[in-house]
Structure 1
Amino acid sequence: MTHDHDLVLRPSAAQTEAALNPPPGRNGGDLVVETLSGLGATTVFGLPGQHALGMFDALRRSSLQYVGLRVENNAGFAADAYGRITGEAAPLLLSTGPGALTSLAALQEAVAASAPVLAISSQIPTAGLGGGRHGYLHELPDQQASFRGVVKSVHTVRAQSQIPSALAAAWESALTAPHGPVWVEIPQDVLLAPTHLPVVTAMDATPEEVVPRPELTAVAAHLLSTAARPAIIAGGGVVRADASGKLLRLAERLNAPVVTTFGGKGAFPWNHPLSLQSWLEDRHTTDLLEDADVLLVIGSGLGELSSNYHTFKPRGRVVQIEADLGKLESNHPALGIHADARLALSALLETVGERPDPTAPERVRTLLARVGERIAAQELTLEQDVLASVRRALPDGSPSFWDMTILAYWAWSAFDPRRPNAMHSAQGAGGLGYGFPAALGAAAADPTRPVLAVSGDGGALYSIAELATAKQYGLDVTWLIVDDGGYGILREYMTDTFGQATATELARPDYVALAESFGVPGIRTSPGTLEADLSKALATPGPSVVLLPAVLRMFAPTHLG
């Protein structure tokens, strides 16, 4: 009897001939790039370093597109955005020690936001491993330990024959829900040594599916179908799972209002009659969610920002669907369903009943009117006008990437992304410097449309070197820098808390002149001319900088009562 898998494993004559006669001049680095190509990668990010040169030399013998950034952390942010936009694992090539460690903040953001990144780091030669201090440049006594508490999984290689399987296992881990960054370590001598192993061809690394348990989805469907006041919180897991269409059908079947978290922007249509939008830092929104007798939380752990700074106290039953097992019921007791959002929503749609409720749209309109009145009472016209100008200038199909800056905090609540997977920020881990390098990664992923990056002047200084990257590769990114003279949000926090701010004021360069010194066009704009200037910059191919000198204020917090 012949089995299908016997046929799959039996090589053809041509495959046997190719395997027995591999091309000359290959090294361990070739096994890395061949495996990446076999897994389906087309673009890699990174920064060369002494121990990693075997990988970089092999790139010139491959079809992989290389995008080299100037700082490893920025390369990590670019890979993060590439993974978010494409849903593929973005390879990130790093050198040993300082090079690898410099990427840690970016990998922390990737794991918090469930962005698939495949970080591949070199290591000192195998002769120096196993403890002790051998005096190698970049040496760490235990390099893996620095990553183990940050990434999803760690994979080590100590021989060339381990490279394909280790990378395949890491790829599978990165793309199994919840997506996230993984880390592979390969010693310098393994990368440099000549190899006579066959060329790596197609690799099998199918991510595991996180399937919901049917008895749990049956209970959840019953609770939702019979609820008097159901509501839904949609998080980033809905976006990562490409499940926004299923969410829309479920919400309409249940007539349940939907609020999206800051990480879940775009998971639900902004102007839908059931859309509560994203006003999570608002007591009125919190009250409505607390009043739900059944609250479906899907793809969110209800962390600090999603719970209005942990003031949210649900009074009804909570059903939580979450692919990250560690987030399940981590903040609130719930009917916890460990599952990918798309698969769980499919299961609910099979069994949940129609639930007529003509009052739901009116409750949504009333809530949004109250939010609007609260904002209008605070005299924040400048802030609203600036954000509206950005929205009008940005083409509907273009993604935007936001740094940790006051305008981004406004955008979390008030910006309509107009489609799923279009608005991204660093609110997962909250590090500075995300916006511009992430936008470069998105432009590399899809060069057919312009990309917007938004930073404050403080965050911009983290990634100013990447203007050289944008120019070198001709990446179509327009960078809006809002210059308020320092760390604006920290200035507000400190003034509100202590009566005055310390260490928040910054000397800055002339950003327009600095951009032009890189060969990148720059323009100084104003709130009144922002829309026109930003529209023109976005319509002009290649990188550009738009500088807006403005001191913006945040709307008053409502989680205090």
Structure 2
Amino acid sequence: MSHDHDLVLRPTPAQIEAALNPPPGRTGGDLVVETLAGLGATTVFGLPGQHALGMFDALRRSRLRYVGLRMENNAGFAADAYGRITGEAAPLLLSTGPGALLSLAALQEAAAASAPVLAIGSQVPAAGLGGGRHGHLHELRDQQASFRDVVKSVHPVRTASQIPSAVAAAWRSALTAPHGPVWVEIPQDVLLAETVLPVVTAPDATPEELPPRPELTALAAHLLETAERPAIIAGGGVVRADAPAKLRALAERLNAPVVTTFGGKGAFPWGHPLSLQSWLEDRHTTDFLADADVLLVVGSGLGELSSNYHTFAPRGRVIQIEADAGKLESNHPGIGIHADARLALMALLETVGERPDPGAPERVRAVLGAVRERLDAQELSLERRVLADVRAALPDRAPSFWDMTILAYWAWSAFDARRPNAMHSAQGAGGLGYGFPAALGAAVADPTTPVLAVSGDGGAMYSIAELATARQYDLSVTWLIVDDGGYGILREYMTDAFGTATGTELTRPDFVALAESFGVPAVRTDPENLRADLAAALSAPGPSVVVLPALLRMFAPTHL
């Protein structure tokens, strides 16, 4: 017997009336913003451009909040952070050609970090599509091809009627595990043309669930419950799936030590007796994990940074829970469970029994003690003090966003995020310029708490224009710039490898005077006053800059 009638949503009288009498003057751009609003979006990021003006004009007829940044890549980083903080798909409106292409580095970071970004870009008029026939400004032969290798899915539009379905499908894709960026592309003439279509209300774009296969979780539960030396690596997938509580419950039931990857910071309590913290770039931690007879990897592909630069060689059974099917067993053979981390952990908790192991906390303390002894043997008091003072100055609720700078490399291993989804960096794709624009996106997502951004002087120069954005929207972001006169981490890499560094030394501005020229309060500090100056800046509403001239060094390599 057919039940198709159960799937038909019958319109209400009010919806019928609205459908028969749509407001005049609407365009394809209105269909875009109406669909976004119907899906639940409240905020969009972006930068206008010639072919995209139909979308931007429609914004003034909608209730969506527009946050404009000064460069497309920075707008992408802001949308990335908004998606991470809220768990919602963050709309990013872009123009054709140069404007679209300038977002690619940000979308690559969103893809690597599984941040849900819904990028909607314009195209040349539909008649000109297909490769340079009309010579339109910004024209590319195949703009989609530039995005296809970066984003989760591509959704081209060629007529107005396709807009709501394409945007809804992209929304569903962005929020289906693993989360990620998606690309919708709409020609200029389609955005500008008047439409007689009814106002878009609430399209169905419920994300698809990704449950584990029961025979795999049954086997995993048996192996973990009967293991002698189980251990857990928790990655960013645990945070994205909102599963830290499930992870803790499983670890405590198994008495299994837990280490979090740099992308999974906060997935497990830092001071918990079973916490190995995040010292993945330390041989003591790597050896401990390699010695586990059963290793559970949740929400991580065990890539370069999470495997101590591919020197990690597990000797026991590996169980890998991962929503990205392409990452299953991609670096280490084992039992691959293609599933959302939360659903898989729930399935394990329904099956696995108690595993008593009173000695587990002592083994954890021994590893952390060995890590501290190794650091104590190096002259790193300045670096450890600076990081400790940043942690002390930052309120527990305040999120932090870190650029690719030496202090961030320290933070990956040594910084206590104190809660899930609170520490973020560009370690997924590794591009410069992430910290400050991402922090702006987080401040838009949650204006009730200050936000910290951390950059080096080299990375800071990627984002200086966004001081104007911070001031324009009065966003409470404090930007800590560690000024060491160049690309510090590259200086170290090159000096270690070649005996000298090339191309790493930089002329830079007076960051304090530059920030003040934007109307942003700024202070130059030193290691003795960093904690007080940073705390004062974070406690004041609105944007601020703290500049710390300091030459920091990395701890000695531990993967050799």
1:222 aligns with 2:222: yes
Q: Match for residue 480 of structure 1?
A: 480
CA distance in 1, matches of 2:273, 2:12: 59
CA distance in 2, matches of 1:307, 1:134: 50
* Letter of the structure 1 residue corresponding to residue 249 of structure 2: R
How far apart are the structure 2 equivalents of 1:71 and 1:83? 19
The aligned counterpart of 1:200 is: 200
- In the alignment, which residue of structure 1 is the partner of 2:76? 76
Q: Distance in 2 between matches of 1:116 and 1:17?
A: 35
Give, in whole Å, the separation in 1 of the partners of 2:86 and 2:288: 35
State the match for 1:543 in structure 2: 543
Q: Which residue of 1 aligns with 2:519?
A: 519
CA distance in 2, matches of 1:418, 1:40: 30
Match of 1:377 in 2: 377
Partner letter of residue 213 of structure 2? R
Residues 142-291 of structure 1: pairs in structure 2 closer than 5 A: 142-291=142-291
Q: Helix, strand or coil: the match of 1:357? A: coil
Paired residue for 1:52? 52
Residue 203 of structure 1: how far off its partner (Å): 1.4
Q: Which amino acid aligns with 2:83?
A: G
State the AA in 1 paired with 2:116.
Answer: P
* Shift, 1:13, TM fit: 2.1
Sort the Cα spacing of 1:322 and 1:196 in 2 relative to 1 into closer, same or farther, 3 A. same
TM-score (norm: length of structure 2): 0.99
Distance 1:336 1:195 in 2: 49
1:275 positional shift: 0.1
Q: What does 1:413-492 align with in structure 2 at a 5 Å threshold?
A: 413-492=413-492
AA aligned to 2:164 is P
Distance 2:364 2:147 in 1: 44
**Whole-Å separation in 2 of the counterparts to 1:128 and 1:4:** 41
CA distance in 2, matches of 1:12, 1:265: 47
- The one-letter amino acid paired with 2:253 is R
Partner in structure 1 of residue 348 of structure 2: 348
2:147 aligned with 1:109, yes or no?
A: no
* Contact 2:132/2:140, CA 8 A, preserved across alignment: no
Counterpart CA distance in 1 for 2:7 and 2:224 is: 48
How far is the alpha carbon of 1:7 from its aligned partner? 8.2
Report the AA paired with residue 65 of structure 1.
Answer: R
Listed one character per residue, the Cα deviations across residues 397-429 of structure 1 (whole Å, up to 9, x for unaligned) are 000000000000000000000000000000000
What TM-score, normalized to structure 1? Answer: 0.99
Structure 2: how far apart are the matches of 1:220 and 1:375? 36
SS in structure 2 of the partner of residue 276 of structure 1 = coil
Decide whether the 8 Å contact of 1:269 with 1:419 is kept in 2: yes
Aligned-partner residue type, residue 241 of structure 1: A
- Post-superposition offset of 1:340: 0.3
Q: Which residue of 2 aligns with 1:11?
A: 11
Structure 2: how far apart are the matches of 1:455 and 1:364?
32
Q: Deviations over 1:70-99 (max 9, x none)?
A: 000000000000000000000000000000
* 1:326–1:7 Cα change, 3 Å: closer
Deviations 1:487-508 (A, max 9, x none): 0000001111111100000000
Partner of 2:387: 387
CA distance in 1, matches of 2:318, 2:294: 6
Query: Which position in structure 1 is the counterpart of 2:24?
Result: 24
Measure the CA separation in 2 of the matches of 1:521 and 1:448.
20
User: What is the CA distance between 1:379 and its match in structure 2?
Assistant: 1.2
- Kept in 1: contact 2:132–2:139 (CA 8 A): no
Name the counterpart of 2:331: 331
Write the distance in 2 (CA, Å) between the matches of 1:432 and 1:6. 51
Give distance in 1, aligned partners of 2:418 and 2:14: 50
**How much does 1:134 deviate?**
1.6
- RMSD (Å) for aligned C-alpha atoms: 1.0
How far, CA to CA, are the matches of 2:99 and 2:131 in structure 1? 21
Aligned partner of 2:41 in structure 1 is: 41
Amino acid at match of 2:17: E
Q: 1-side partners of 2:375 and 2:433: how far apart? A: 28
Partner-residue secondary structure (3-state), 1:336: strand
Cα deviations across residues 419-446 of structure 1 (Å, max 9, x unaligned)? 0000000000000000000000000000
The one-letter code sitting in structure 1 at the alignment partner of 2:530 is L
Contact 2:533 2:546 in 1 (8 A): yes
2:274 touches 2:360 (CA, 8 Å); kept in 1?
yes
SS of residue in 2 equivalent to 1:9:
coil
Decide whether the 8 Å contact of 1:261 with 1:278 is kept in 2: yes
| CA displacement 1:353-374 (0-9 Å, x = unmatched) | 1000011000000000000000
Q: Distance in 1 between matches of 2:9 and 2:426?
A: 44
Deviation at residue 5 of structure 1 after TM alignment: 4.9
Measured after TM superposition, the shift of residue 16 of structure 1 is: 1.1
Check whether the contact 1:297–1:321 (CA below 8 A) recurs between aligned residues: yes
Gaps of 5+ in 1: none
Contact 1:281 1:413 in 2 (8 A): yes
Does structure 2 conserve the Cα–Cα contact (< 8 Å) formed by 1:46 and 1:67?
yes
With over 3 angstroms needed to count, the CA separation of the structure-2 counterparts of 1:187 and 1:30, relative to structure 1, is same
**Contact 1:133–1:141 (8 Å) recurs in 2:** no
Which structure 2 residue ranges, 5 or more long, are not aligned? none
Cα distance in 2, alignment partners of residues 507 and 130 from structure 1: 44
Letter in 1 for 2:220: A
Amino acid at match of 1:37: A
Distance 2:76 2:509 in 1: 25
The separation in 2 between residues aligned to 1:110 and 1:57, in whole angstroms, is 27
- Match for 1:182: what amino acid? V
**Counterpart of 2:532?**
532
